[in-house]
């Protein structure tokens, strides 16, 4: 029986992964072993066969006993441990949610509904490093797969609205604490029907700017605000998150000539789920009905939302999508710029299709179960 080691299983992505695997009854036919960087010896999760003590995720020899390792621990961990394991001669499969290895030549970015062929080719060639893609890239590709597959995309501009949970557990807590601080400051005036709204605005603005809200994780208030910067700066003015859009899209699609993808990545006060407003330059002027049919038919998870207010409010918001695998695509129309310019809005759960689900499915592929 193959052994599968899980590292980072109690973080945001890892706990969503374990939850999905439990629900889908995936913990069978292999021996799961749980590792930790901080709690070795404590009881691990019980996924059906009783809880075993956690093993040390910094112990190369313990890791090397595994046939497959699944890491949701983060890029620093991958950068430290993956080279050590390979240097020690470990030939197992490394399946990772972090970005550290994504652009390595012998690593494959996995999003199997979109690039199953590349995954199979890589497995046949004996490649052993498989990495989930950047969350907004994977969600954009799941939504727009029909247009990419049909060769209809000349370029894409993606303007993102990314949730607090994309930055990790601490950031989610900080957002709620900020919301609480604002609510406390404004409650009396907000609840008094006779109060002056400009006074409420003044109090909230003052609270946002007086330095009293917790901002250690985000560096600025996110509640009642937004932050048009995600990740570190690149030399050309893009952020690293924006840079990933083009390089990862083209690596996943295996394009011979890169398709330009660019835009601005913005953190907003949504708890979970990343949204994107897309501008797509089509390679030719295709009727909207054809575009809709291509998008809707591309995979089992994409769902077309009619370009109507009621349907949009009901199905095209982070709150509506959170915790589910659907990728709704709506607000779809040709732009005033011309018949080759399409706009769309899409939302997806960045912890599911944006992180845990491609990793989970890659594990099942390696185990020969998908």
Binding site for ligand NAP (CB under 6 A): 8, 10-14, 36-39, 57, 72-75, 97-98, 135, 165-166, 168-169, 350-351, 354-355
- Closer of 76 and 201 to ligand NAP (Cβ): 76
Q: How far is the CB of 32 from ligand NAP (least distance, A)?
A: 15
Residue facing ligand NAP at closest CB distance: 11
Order of strands, edge to edge, in the sheet holding 55-56? 55-56, 31-36, 3-7, 68-71, 93-96, 129-132, 107-110
Q: How far is the CB of 79 from ligand NAP (least distance, A)?
A: 10
Taking CA atoms, 65 is separated from 10, 60, 96, 220, in Å, by: 21, 9, 18, 44
Asked whether the beta carbons of 359 and 279 are under 8 A apart, the reply is no
Distance CA 349, CA 141 (A): 13
The reply to whether 135 belongs to the active site is yes
- Closer of 153 and 362 to ligand NAP (Cβ): 362
- Closer of 115 and 136 to ligand NAP (Cβ): 136
Distance CA 66, CA 53 (A): 16
Query: Phi and psi for 53 in degrees, rounded to 5?
Result: -65, 145
Taking CA atoms, 283 is separated from 113, 153, 171, 217, in Å, by: 23, 6, 40, 42
* Nearest residue to 172 via CA among 229, 232, 214, 233: 214
- Closer of 164 and 332 to ligand NAP (Cβ): 164
- The residue annotated as part of the active site, out of 72, 82, 135, 273, is 135
The reply to whether 274 belongs to the active site is yes
Query: 343: which DSSP letter?
Result: E
Task: Indicate which residues carry an active-site annotation.
Answer: 135, 274
């Amino acid at each position: 029986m193959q052994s599968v080691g899980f590292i980072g299983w109690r973080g945001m992505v890892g706990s969503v992964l374990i939850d999905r695997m439990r629900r889908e009854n995936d913990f069978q036919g292999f021996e799961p072993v749980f590792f930790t960087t901080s709690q070795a010896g404590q009881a691990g999760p019980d996924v059906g066969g009783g809880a075993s003590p956690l093993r040390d995720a910094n112990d190369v020899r313990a890791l090397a006993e595994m046939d497959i390792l699944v890491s949701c621990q983060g890029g620093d961990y991958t950068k430290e441990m993956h080279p050590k394991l390979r240097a020690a001669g470990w030939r197992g499969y490394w399946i990772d949610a972090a970005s550290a290895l994504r652009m390595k030549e012998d690593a494959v970015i996995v999003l199997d509904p979109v690039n199953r062929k590349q995954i199979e080719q890589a497995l046949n060639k004996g490649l052993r490093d498989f990495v989930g893609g950047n969350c907004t890239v994977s969600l954009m590709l799941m939504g727009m797969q029909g247009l990419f597959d049909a060769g209809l995309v000349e370029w894409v501009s993606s303007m993102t609205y990314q949730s607090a949970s994309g930055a990790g557990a601490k950031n989610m807590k900080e957002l709620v604490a900020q919301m609480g601080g604002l609510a406390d400051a404004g409650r009396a005036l907000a609840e008094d029907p006779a109060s002056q709204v400009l006074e409420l605005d003044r109090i909230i603005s003052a609270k946002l700017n007086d330095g009293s809200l917790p901002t250690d994780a985000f560096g600025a208030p996110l509640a009642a605000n937004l932050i048009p910067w995600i990740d570190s700066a690149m030399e050309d003015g893009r952020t690293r998150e924006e840079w990933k859009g083009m390089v990862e899209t083209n690596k996943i699609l295996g394009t011979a000539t890169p398709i330009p993808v660019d835009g601005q990545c913005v953190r907003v006060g949504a708890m979970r789920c990343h949204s994107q407003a897309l501008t797509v330059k089509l390679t030719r002027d295709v009727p909207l009905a054809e575009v809709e049919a291509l998008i809707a038919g591309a995979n089992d998870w994409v769902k077309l939302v009619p370009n109507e207010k009621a349907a949009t409010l009901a199905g095209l918001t982070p709150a509506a999508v959170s915790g589910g695998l659907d990728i709704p695509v709506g607000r779809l129309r040709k732009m005033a710029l011309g018949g080759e310019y399409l706009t769309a809005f899409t939302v997806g759960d960045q912890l599911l299709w944006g992180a845990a689900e491609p990793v989970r499915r890659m594990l099942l592929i390696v185990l020969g179960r998908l």
